[in-house]
Structure 1
Amino acid sequence: MGRVLENLEPQAVFSFFEDMTQIPRCSGSEKAISDYLVNFAKKRNLEVIQDKALNVIIKKPGTKGYENAPVVILQGHMDMVCEKNKNTNHDFSTEPLKLRVENDMVMATGTTLGADNGIAVAYALAILDSDEISHPPLEVLITTEEETGMGGANSLDPNNLKGKILINIDSEEEGTLLVSCAGGIRNTLSIPIEWNACPDDFLAYDLRVRGLKGGHSGMEINKERGNSNIILGRILKGISANNDIYISQVSGGAKMNAIPRESDAVLLVNRQDKAKLEKEIEKWNRIIGNELKTADSDVRIELELLNSKHEKVFSKETMKKVLAALVLIPNGVQTMSVEIEGLVQSSTNLGVLTTTEKEVLLECAIRSSVKTLKLDIVKKMEALADLIGAKSTSESDYPAWEYRKDSYIRDIFVDSYKKMYGKEPIITAIHAGLECGLFDEKLDNVDMISLGPNMFDVHTPNERVSISSTNRVWEYLLEVIKSIK
């Protein structure tokens, strides 16, 4: 079978990217892709370091005339968010992605594409592989577990790097250069379950929230898209107010840093209330459909009668606590920046809802460019936990990347953009976690900037990357590194 991307420009970039789509690289399972990068370096006699966290650093001397230029770190991450549609049969641990090209877009069928951040790695490999590109001494840093808490960046030994200029290639909008980012923390609310026997003469239903767009919980949190976990809780709370119901399971979302698109609940209702429940669902379809008619026009609430027998359900007290958590938990935009127009300052995302044998888990990604606001949201989670007799735990705390007033690399990027396009790029901050925050702490006085080509709906099965934008950003990146002497 032929390669899908072989005729796309830049050929070297898309060739390496297609190679990567054939290798398993979900966050936390990066051994194969990390070894691929090591072998790439060894075949080209380049210095390579693979650390215990499977981060890979590949070093290449400057080309002729650039031997004494400042060392530049090109940085991206090798892992990807692995999400698929409910009806897609795909094993990310063994199967390659099914690529396709539609007009100007590269996509994967039924799954995430991994252009976030495979394109960054492909850019770096194409530069390392070339004997014709002029560049300063390079240190290519490819990290692991970025999508699940920046584990690789956290484990990085700064002594392995000499560069004081870092170009992060993990942005998603061409012509926009990022110079600051939010910090974040992950919070889990654990509600213990008290189980009761399933009552007689009750019908079991699968209540489903479907049709939402989802998206990146930082980049797209301001688009007011529906969160399926929040919608599910709201509907269940509404139904419980007018019906004698029981719940045996709630679930939704796959990744804490992705706005959940699909959620499910198994609920039981008295047989005689069957018609009443169906009318309730019709009502909620109208309510949610009207509220999200612009932001998420395809949302739908489904109800399916189940044939399987359920032997146990949440106690009424457990159900009360779970529904209280789902309707009270902070979610979405919390504060907006006054200094930077349109920038979300702090937010939360209830990304994953899970029922285990012992507890219901609500997993949230909290983001803020102001540390104290981040901690304030954590305190709200803890207060909610105290209120309902749950447990709140936080982990994977990572810092913000603060704006640098004077920046040599930013000046180079601006001058190169003006030279190529006759106008200045957009300089802004982002409400998402970039590894730059950790590098700002670990690498003494490093001068950083972030860029990338146009990508859309990252962290969802609709993820796609623009071919023409990938080419333009490639040419821009080459112009920049050629200018660093």
Structure 2
Amino acid sequence: MSGENVQSRLYRGECPVIPYFEALSAIPRSSGHEQAASDYVAAFARARGFEAVQDASWNLIIRKPATQGYEQAPPVIVQGHLDMVGEKNEGVAHDFLNDPIRLRVDGEFMTAEGTTLGGDNGLGVAFAMALLDDRGAAHPALEIVLTTEEETSMKGARKLDTALLRGRMLINLDSDREGILYVSSAGGARAYHTVPVAWKEANGAGCAGRLRVWGLVGGHSGDDIVHERANACELLGRVLDGLRKRLPYTIADVRGGLASNAIPREAEASLYVPPAQWAEAEAAVKEWEAHFRAEYAVADPGVSVSFEAGGPGTAQADGAAQVFSEASKSMLVDSLLLVPNGVLRMDKAIPGLPRTSTNVGTVKLTSEGVRFESLVRSSLRSELDAAMSRMEALARAIGCGFEAGDYYPGWPYRMASPLRDVFLDVYARVYGKPMEVKAVHAGIECGILADRIPGLDAVSYGPDLFDIHTPDERFSISSVERTWNYLRQVLQALNNPSH
């Protein structure tokens, strides 16, 4: 299959990137489950006569020789990642480990039916495949590098054998704004809080109900954290705190969010409420919804809070179910209130850029207790370490467990960058206007690779991609077309050995 021409089902234009994206979208590739996608792209490359090296993490390195006249030009690394974030709307039946992404075209945009699209970073992979299949391009030797688990731990980039790479110029294709060249990014680390749970019998606890916070915009916890959108886990904590000040209740379950690098759009708790206080609980929940809609009228106008009898995931008041002890309930609610979330400090040197932030991405009940996973980002290692120390001290004070995940380095700005100069020169010639150069608060693998490849000159670029890490994710078809033509011209311009 990989040796045949890929045909598009939805797209009728000339750009080869989109048909390859459609083909890739048929292969489930959530973080940690990229083997099938890696095998597919490796077979695609080998069928065209190119060397493809896979490692134990299913990272890929594919080599395409220089075209005639470019044999003496320095090789160029073109890099993206194979995995995607799997998020879906409530009620959508989709198994991210087995089901293909259901694509559709909506006017100028390609999107998915009720799930994330996977344009982050399926588009980067599709661009790489198009370059491999492009017989008319003029370019230096290419080293296509496609990594795994970028969305969760950046494990693939950290495990990659960079000694296999000759290139010292890297074009990362994991950006989402046409006309903006990213040249620096934040470092990050994951933080885990675990609230221990002591259980007790639910006898006489009352009626089972489902408390939900939903309807939020969500978004990327790096790119979108500056917009101060609501975090469903944080709002759930505020409602639970408000309820405990007004009436007795017990908790049987709690969950929220799907990934640490996505702002949670939904969160819920299964409660038992005494029948005599049920109406008061419903009234209190309506009050909280009104408060949130006033607070987030601009940033998150669709925020909703509901409380219903029964519902999926709730325990049944049959005398056999168990609920949290009062001490465990208090520790959970305190943690939901106190674990830091949102922008901690803005960068005063770059207007509009967060310098340090945290995102409570997931909250879920496990065999060890209720586990919080947060992603801490900063362009300064000292501030990131300070945020992690604050979170660890908070865990100690509350009495819950704490673990720090692996740190990935930021990507420092490079004063002299011949590669950046080529991107800027070609953009001005093609578009007739200057290109923007920016830093980004998100984590990009350029930081890990620059840390491990001495002298690496890197940039990050891509077409317009909106609402990534949410089921509203979509990309501009015309932007992909323009970006493809622009990328080919950039590679054509890299024929000067001094670059």
TM-score band by shorter chain is: over 0.9
Superposition deviation, residue 425 in structure 1 = 0.7
Matches within 5 A, 1:251-400: 251-306=255-310, 308-309=316-317, 311-400=321-410
Superposition deviation, residue 52 in structure 1 = 1.1
1:201 touches 1:271 (CA, 8 Å); kept in 2?
no
The letter of the residue matching 1:166 is: L
1:348-396 deviations in whole A, cap 9, x for unaligned?
0000000124401111011000001111110111111101111110113
Q: Out of 136, 141, 151, which is 2:145 matched to?
A: 141
1:16 corresponds to: 20
Distance across 1 between alignment mates of 2:83 and 2:387: 28
Superposition deviation, residue 38 in structure 1 = 1.1
Superposition deviation, residue 91 in structure 1 = 1.6
Distance across 1 between alignment mates of 2:300 and 2:17: 34
Superposition deviation, residue 201 in structure 1 = 5.4
> TM-score, length-normalised on structure 2?
0.95
2:203 touches 2:317 (CA, 8 Å); kept in 1?
no
The letter of the residue matching 1:298 is: G
Q: 1:417 to 1:462 in 2, by over 3 A?
A: same
Distance across 2 between alignment mates of 1:331 and 1:139: 39
2:225 touches 2:342 (CA, 8 Å); kept in 1?
yes
1:45-88 deviations in whole A, cap 9, x for unaligned?
11111111110011011111111111000000011111111211
The letter of the residue matching 1:92 is: F
Q: 1:283 to 1:128 in 2, by over 3 A?
A: same
SS of residue in 2 equivalent to 1:148: coil
Distance across 2 between alignment mates of 1:27 and 1:402: 26
1:242 corresponds to: 246
Superposition deviation, residue 205 in structure 1 = 0.7
Distance across 1 between alignment mates of 2:40 and 2:344: 41
1:450 corresponds to: 460
The letter of the residue matching 1:333 is: V
2:228 touches 2:299 (CA, 8 Å); kept in 1?
yes
1:270-312 deviations in whole A, cap 9, x for unaligned?
1111111111011111101111111111111011111832621
1:413 corresponds to: 423
1:221-247 deviations in whole A, cap 9, x for unaligned?
011111000000011001101111111
Pair 1:230 & 2:226 matched: no
1:37 corresponds to: 41
Distance across 1 between alignment mates of 2:41 and 2:81: 12
The letter of the residue matching 1:70 is: P
Superposition deviation, residue 199 in structure 1 = 4.1
SS of residue in 1 equivalent to 2:442: strand
What count of residue pairs does the alignment treat as equivalent?
483
Superposition deviation, residue 435 in structure 1 = 0.3
Distance across 1 between alignment mates of 2:123 and 2:368: 41
SS of residue in 1 equivalent to 2:151: helix
Distance across 2 between alignment mates of 1:372 and 1:90: 41
1:251 touches 1:353 (CA, 8 Å); kept in 2?
yes
RMSD: 1.1
2:177 corresponds to: 173
1:218 corresponds to: 222
- Comparing 241-250 and 104-113, the one that deviates more: 241-250
1:366 touches 1:374 (CA, 8 Å); kept in 2?
yes
Superposition deviation, residue 9 in structure 1 = 4.0
Question: Which of structure 1's runs of 4+ aligned residues deviate more than 6 A?
Answer: none
1:87-141 deviations in whole A, cap 9, x for unaligned?
1111222221111001110001011111100111111111111110111110000
Matches within 5 A, 1:129-208: 129-200=133-204, 202-208=206-212
